[in-house]
Structure 1
Amino acid sequence: MRSLLRENIGEALVGLAVVLLAIWFVLFAWDRTGGGRKAGAMEIAAIFPNASGVNVGTDVRVAGLKVGSVSALSLDPQSYQVKVNVALDPTVKLPADSSAAITSEGLLGSTFIAFTPGGSTAVLKSGDTITDTQGSMDLMALIGQFINRPAGGGDAGGADNAAAPTSTP
């Protein structure tokens, strides 16, 4: 058996590396999907009119710094808005009048929820709900509106009419 291991030590090391990489990937995926939440995380909710691009595990940031992640999404049956549950780092003390917006890192960047601290002296507590929110923008609809707008849109008697030749028979 020892001679067999000595002959195949390279293959054994590659196999061990593959197993370790697989374990790392599972732990990474567990953390990114919200499975590995911090113990004692502060759970708050935010109500959004549109939560496109937000999933469980989506980052929550304040001033660009990750302070939590989305832990659950549900549809409110009365208002038909999306209730987003967020697990925040308990050391972060946000004012009670803070607002939330769904935004992205750029045209092709990932989506995240950005909290903007308010000016209140009271802080958010576990179980509170943020109602001052801005949902995600539908980029394809904005591009479609730009492309499909009528020529000379809104220019009453503008350059398009001035350049038209007039002829009298």
Structure 2
Amino acid sequence: MSGMGSSHQQPPGTRPEQLIGALVPPTTRRPAPTVPLGAPALRRRGWLTDVTAEPVLFDVARIDTSGRFCARALLTALRWEPGHRLDLTVETDAVVFGSSPAGRQTVGRRGELTVPVAARSLAGLDAEARVMLVAVPTRDLLVAHPPALVAHLLARHYAHQATGHDDG
């Protein structure tokens, strides 16, 4: 049996294998860009400063183990129908939903919204817990707050009432 030895020979008329230049990374590093590259700034949403200046709607919902909750009355007021695209922003003690043509979230077929597990964790929203929902139709946004924030605000309000200083 010929050809089974330890030496390997090329068939006649063929070239030895070569690396393809386009697939080989350069041996030298490219210089850093002269202008630092930055992430695009997120659109800052307006927060409520005066609840008497515009309509504000409230509801309470329960988040299921998958992070979904339903708030049909608020979605109707916001005119968000199934398939409506949304951006989701996590703030301290809040998850903010707002309309965005390129949003990664959508309103579900049955009028449900989903909060991803990382967003729930950062905002303090526990699965299978109730959340306080605040909708501001004039600003096209819906905010989900954890019950701990609502309890804290109410405790502060009642403490001020006891001292004769009502804060609203």
Normalising by structure 2, we get a TM-score of 0.31
* Structure with the higher fraction of residues in helix conformation: 1
Normalising by structure 1, we get a TM-score of 0.31
Structure index of larger Rg: 2
